[in-house]
Amino acid sequence: MVDLKGLAEAIIKGDQAKAVHITRTALEQKVPPKQILDEGLIAGMEVVGQRFKNNEIFIPEVLFSARTMKAAMALLEPELVKAGVKPLGKFLIGTVKGDLHDIGKNLVAMMLKGAGFEVIDLGVDVPPDKFVEKARSMGVQLVGMSALLTTTMPAMEKTLTALRQAGLDVKIMVGGAPVTQAYADKIGADGYAPNAAEAVTVAKCLIAA
Ligand code: B1M
């Protein structure tokens, strides 16, 4: 029987070759894909998120783990779809209009994927109407915006207003270095997170609310 703890360990260490090998073996041995996801990938990424939150590891290690997860996920995803496994929810994410910073946003997206969300990433410099159009067409439950410049923070409020005016039933989350809880409250966002690990916690709370 394949060792899913070993898979979680490989994710934590960012050992891509080992993670891919264990995932492939587990699938060959007919281990249910949901079990591989929960006990291997998500379990590993949970530890990564916790260690990142506690400042025990830093961005490079998280990126290694996230890339490892992505490689294993490429094998697992078609099997999850075949098995009809539903994601925790659909999360649309992007960096707001005028802003080209995406390192933090990518990190948040990877951690959300690691936690079991389906993530639709719109990239950078995303205008409000694109957020609205995709939120509607993809039927998402959560929309996340990232901004790294004080000059692009107002684009968050514009996007939020556009989403509300479009009458979409979505929870809206904001984040990025200059963004604060006070700013999130001021513009009426449903959630704010200071880092990628917290973003997962907040997203899980919002989807459960
Ligand atoms: Co830019 N830049 N930059 N830059 N850049 C900053 C942000 C800056 C603080 C540097 C400085 O002056 N000290 C400054 C902003 C000042 C301000 O507005 N107060 C700045 C500036 C001024 C600029 C330009 C205007 C420079 C110029 O051209 N004159 C220009 C703007 C371009 C544009 O966007 N239109 C510019 C350009 C660039 C590069 C392209 C060169 C590059 C970006 C490359 C890329 O992203 N692909 C860049 C970089 C790398 C930086 C710094 C050095 C690093 C940013 C970063 O990636 N941090 C930055 C200075 C710094 O922070 N030390 C700086 C690491 C990342 C993991 O953190 O993005 O905060 P962060 O994400 C965190 C959290 O914030 C949170 O989780 C993440 C992980 O824990 N989070 C969320 C992020 N999004 C979230 C969303 C959520 C929840 C949490 O929910 C949805």
Give the CATH number of the domain where residue 12 resides.
1.10.1240.10
* pLDDT band, very low/low/confident/very high, at 75 (cuts 50, 70, 90): very high
Task: Output DSSP code: residue 169.
Answer: -
Q: Is the pLDDT of residue 196 over 90?
A: no
Supply the pLDDT for residue 34. 86
Cα angle for residues 203, 207, 208 (degrees, 5° grid): 115
Q: Which uninterrupted H or E stretch holds 172?
A: strand 171-175
Give me 110's structure tokens.
């990877």
8 A C-beta contact, residue 19 and residue 11: yes
Q: Is the pLDDT of residue 51 over 90?
A: yes
Ligand 1 center from residue 150 Cα (angstroms) = 10
Q: Whose CA is closest to atom 18 on ligand 1? A: 149
* Per-residue pLDDT reduced to its tens digit, 122-140: 999 999 999 999 999 999 9
Q: Whose CA is closest to atom 28 on ligand 1? A: 100
Of the chain, the percentage scoring pLDDT greater than 70 comes to 100
Single residue among 58, 82, 106 that ends a domain in this structure: 82
Cα angle for residues 80, 91, 33 (degrees, 5° grid): 15
What range defines the domain where residue 13 resides?
4-82
- Is residue 143 domain-shared with residue 200, that is, in the same domain? yes
Supply the pLDDT for residue 46. 86
Q: Which uninterrupted H or E stretch holds 94?
A: strand 90-95
DSSP codes of every residue in 120-134: EE--SSB-HHHHHHH
Which candidate, 41, 40, 50, places its Cα nearest to that of 69?
A: 41
Single residue among 33, 55, 82 that ends a domain in this structure: 82
Which candidate, 75, 62, 150, 157, places its Cα nearest to that of 106?
A: 62
Q: What is the domain count for the chain?
A: 2
Q: Whose CA is closest to atom 71 on ligand 1? A: 104
Contacts for 113 with CB less than 8 Å, ≥ 6 apart: 66, 69, 70, 73, 119
Q: Is the pLDDT of residue 42 over 90?
A: no
Supply the pLDDT for residue 53. 85
* pLDDT band, very low/low/confident/very high, at 17 (cuts 50, 70, 90): very high
Ligand 1 center from residue 101 Cα (angstroms) = 5
Q: Which atom of ligand 1 is nearest to the CA of 144?
A: 91
- pLDDT (mean) for 150-165: 98
- pLDDT (mean) for 172-185: 98
- Is residue 190 domain-shared with residue 111, that is, in the same domain? yes
Ligand 1 center from residue 148 Cα (angstroms) = 5
Single residue among 63, 82, 101 that ends a domain in this structure: 82
- pLDDT (mean) for 138-156: 98
Ligand 1 center from residue 186 Cα (angstroms) = 22
Residue 48 CB less than 6 A away from ligand 1: no
- Is residue 69 domain-shared with residue 102, that is, in the same domain? no
- Is residue 100 domain-shared with residue 75, that is, in the same domain? no
